[in-house]
Amino acid sequence: MKITIKYIPNIITVARIIMSFLFIHTIVGQFVYGQDLKVNLIILFLAICCSDLLDGRIARKTKSVSIIGAKLDVFADLLYIIISYITLINIKILPLWFLGFICFKFTEFIITSKFMKRNNKSLENAFVFDKVGRIVSATFFIIPGLYSSYLRIKSCFMLADLNRAYSPNDKYMD
Alpha-carbon distance 43 to 77, whole Å?
17
Nearest to 148 by CA among 48, 52, 23, 18: 23
Distance CA 83, CA 80 (A): 6
Question: HSE (CB half, 13 Å, CA atoms) of 107?
Answer: 6
The C-alpha atoms of residue 124 and residue 75 are separated, in whole angstroms, by 18
Percent of the chain whose predicted confidence (pLDDT) is above 70: 79
Separation between Cα atoms, residue 13 and residue 86, nearest integer Å: 21
For residue range 80-101, what is the model confidence (pLDDT) as tens digits? 999 999 999 999 888 899 899 8
Residues 130-158 pLDDT 10s: 777 778 788 888 888 877 766 655 665 55
> What domains appear along the chain, each with residue ranges and CATH number?
2-165 (1.20.120)
The residue ranking higher by pLDDT, 98 or 160, is: 98
Helices (H), ranges, the chain: 2-31, 38-61, 67-90, 96-119, 131-165
Whole-model pTM: value is 0.76
Which residues are within 8 A (CB) of 69 and not within 5 positions of it... i.e. 6 or more apart?
9, 10, 13, 55, 59
